[in-house]
Amino acid sequence: MNFKLQSMHMKLLSRVTADVKHTPSAHSTLDVLWVLYDRVLRITPKTVDAPDRDRLLLSKGHGPAAYYAVLAAKGFIPEEWLDDMGGWDSPLGHHPDRTLIPGVEIGTGSLGHGLGLAVGTALGLRAQGFLDTRTFVLLGDAELDEGSNHEAIAYAAAIRLPITAIVIDNRSATHGWPGGIPVRFPNWEVSVVNGRDHDEIERALRVVSDRPHLVVASV
Amino acid sequence: MRETFIDTTTAILDEDPRTALVVADISAASFTAARRRHPDRVFNVGIREQLMAGMGGGLALTGMRPYLHSYAPFLIDRAYEQIKLDLGHQETGAVLVSIGASYDAAAEGYTHQSPGDVALLDTLDGWTVHVPGHRDEVAALLWAAARHDDRVYVRLSTQENGHAYPDAAGLRVLRRGGPLVVAVGPMLDPVLEATAGMDVTVAYTNTPRPLDTDGLRALVEGAVVVVEPYLAGTSAYLVGQALNGLPHRALHLGVGRAEIRRYGDWRDHAREHGLDPAGLRRSISGFLLEI
């Protein structure tokens, strides 16, 4: 990340004062989220309700400081919102709520819900003919502990559904993933990238395939 | 009722391109033709009920109208958090259609039974619950659910009444007399038989949620008996709210909490829970004698 960008993000992130509990997870997603919104996703503050917009589903609702900072930097939400996260009058909770925040596709917090929602979203888009619309879902490596993910992983592979799942791997799963994360995604296309290298992240996210694609972003 | 569900949902899929169906192996074979005609909107996820509910949420987020189907314990009990978060919390809806009811799968045992499904949905906001008492009430309920985006549960059962009452969303009075007895869905025939010769009013509904509280308030004079084919007392809090300020006594009959570790068929379990005509007559006459 270049210095100017980093200082802007840090300034925005530092305004998100209430996020004490999930600080490491908040920062782990920052680079991937920036690359998504800056270079990959076809969505702007004006197209948050366009039926053919690209979708990013933040499954890992924990530590949304980076998410909120990127949404503010890209004009989806006012920067002032960042100052009172978790406050009574704030639309920004410690986990995001799609009904309160423009540009947020799903409300999350309880882990293991994003992948199933992403599978349904991608199928719904396809059924309506939005064949160029892409569906991304962002998870954490510890989140993969939840069994519900594995229902969606197997089914997406079985029907060759071209969604992109990004797993931020900061080795936070209590019992780890011996053998690595990609083997938990059989018959998915796999990219493993440095989760801080924007060009590497972008190259992986631009891959469009005829089956689901896993991008493991190590940080 | 299951056959009516399959035929009707197949017709809705043919007629309305907004409709999608997600099943988890249960009844999948019956939708083979629909799946062949609409491969983009009919899905069998395998034995993955959490995914089925999550997919329903995702489909609804894009504007589709998803129908989800399985045995009640797998559709509701197992996927409760997905129903709570992937539908309600996202402000999306779906049509959930169950078979099995409280103990249709008597010989399969408690793992295949869901007396608590309606009580579970009662912990959540915005659910319409249909409990049809006859197969001929099913189609209209399913068609109506295709026309909006709200959250709807349709609870199908093997047990059914001898006659259909299609316009029974509110309380429909079938017998006029003294204290009110409310029969939900397939409880109507056993209630009518149990109360034969008693001086009671019998009202029927196939839509316990939202409960017809205005109708209840208008009909109750001193005492009310509610007979539900799921967990006893599920509607007690709503009945209490509806009758707030009116002096009344209430008896809530339904399926007991204690697990019955016997098999047989639904008639055996109905008898054991006191929901057969003889058991209902004992409970209702005993309650009315206390007045």
The CATH architecture assigned to B172-289 reads 3-Layer(aba) Sandwich (3.40)
pLDDT over 70 (residue A93)? yes
Q: Indicate yes or no: CB of B54 within 8 angstroms of CB of A152.
A: yes
Instruction: Enumerate the residues of chain A whose CB falls inside 8 A of the CB of residue B86.
Output: 113, 116-117
Averaged pLDDT score across all residues of chain B:
97
CB distance A156 to A188 below 8 Å: yes
Q: What is the pLDDT of residues B94-112, one digit of tens each?
A: 999 999 999 999 999 999 9
Q: Indicate yes or no: CB of B50 within 8 angstroms of CB of A116.
A: yes
Q: What is the mean pLDDT of residues B31-50?
A: 98
d(Cα B118, Cα B139) in Å, to the nearest integer?
21
d(Cα B155, Cα B166) in Å, to the nearest integer?
15
Q: What is the pLDDT of residue B166?
A: 87
d(Cα B94, Cα A66) in Å, to the nearest integer?
32
Q: What is the ipTM of this complex?
A: 0.96
Give the mutation candidate from B51, B67, B91 for the A interface (greatest A CB count, under 10 A): B51
pLDDT over 90 (residue A114)? yes
Q: Mind spelling out the 3-state secondary structure of B180-239?
A: EEEEEHHHHHHHHHHCCCCCCEEEEECCCECCCHHHHHHHCCCEEEEEEEEECCCCHHHH
Strand order from edge to edge, sheet including A164-169 = A55-58, A135-140, A164-169, A213-218, A189-194
Among B57, B63, B81, whose Cβ lies nearest the Cβ of A117? B57
pLDDT over 60 (residue A20)? no
d(Cα A141, Cα A150) in Å, to the nearest integer?
13
Q: Return the residue of B nearest to A106 by Cα.
A: B90
| Intrachain domains B2-155 and B172-289 with the same fold | yes
Give the distance from residue B272's alpha carbon to the nearest chain A alpha carbon, in angstroms.
37
Q: What is the pLDDT of residue A3?
A: 53
Instruction: Enumerate the residues of chain B whose CB falls inside 8 A of the CB of residue A117.
Output: 54-55, 57-58, 61, 86, 90
Q: Indicate yes or no: CB of B59 within 8 angstroms of CB of A126.
A: no
CATH code of the domain covering residue A95: 3.40.50.970
Q: What is the mean pLDDT of residues A71-78?
A: 97
- pLDDT category at B83 given cuts 50, 70, 90 is very high
d(Cα A140, Cα B178) in Å, to the nearest integer?
62
- pLDDT category at A17 given cuts 50, 70, 90 is very low
Of A21-25, A160-164, A200-204, the least confident: A21-25
Q: Indicate yes or no: CB of B63 within 8 angstroms of CB of A113.
A: no
pLDDT over 80 (residue A16)? no
Q: What is the pLDDT of residue B196?
A: 97
- pLDDT category at A25 given cuts 50, 70, 90 is low
Residue B99 phi/psi, 5° resolution? -120, 170
Within 10 angstroms of residue B152's Cβ, the number of other Cβ atoms is 24
- Give the domain extent around A31: 3-218
Q: Indicate yes or no: CB of B54 within 8 angstroms of CB of A147.
A: no
Q: B residues 176-195 near A, CB within 8 Å? A: none
Q: Does B111 touch chain A (CB under 8 A)?
A: no
Taking the domains of chain B in order of start, what are their residue ranges? 2-155, 172-289
Among B58, B64, B91, whose Cβ lies nearest the Cβ of A119? B58
Q: Indicate yes or no: CB of A115 within 8 angstroms of CB of B54.
A: yes
Q: What is the pLDDT of residues B132-146, one digit of tens each?
A: 999 999 999 999 999
Q: Does A118 touch chain B (CB under 8 A)?
A: yes
Q: What is the pLDDT of residues B112-138, one digit of tens each?
A: 999 999 999 999 999 999 999 999 999
Task: Give chain A's domain count.
Answer: 1
- pLDDT category at A63 given cuts 50, 70, 90 is confident
Is the four-CA dihedral B101, B102, B104, B107 of positive or negative sign?
positive
Q: Does B39 touch chain A (CB under 8 A)?
A: no
> B2-155 maps to which CATH number?
3.40.50.970
Q: B residues 58-97 near A, CB within 8 Å? A: 58-64, 66, 81-82, 85-86, 89-91
- pLDDT category at A58 given cuts 50, 70, 90 is very high
Q: What is the mean pLDDT of residues A9-29?
A: 66
CA distances (Å), origin B127, targets A193, B122, B151, B277: 44, 8, 5, 30
Q: Does A129 touch chain B (CB under 8 A)?
A: no
Instruction: Enumerate the residues of chain A whose CB falls inside 8 A of the CB of residue B89.
Output: 97, 107
Among A97, A120, A148, whose Cβ lies nearest the Cβ of B59? A120
Q: What is the pLDDT of residues B209-249, one digit of tens each?
A: 999 999 999 999 999 999 999 999 999 999 999 999 999 99
Q: Which helix (H) or strand (E) segment is A213 a member of?
A: strand A213-218
Averaged pLDDT score across all residues of chain A:
93
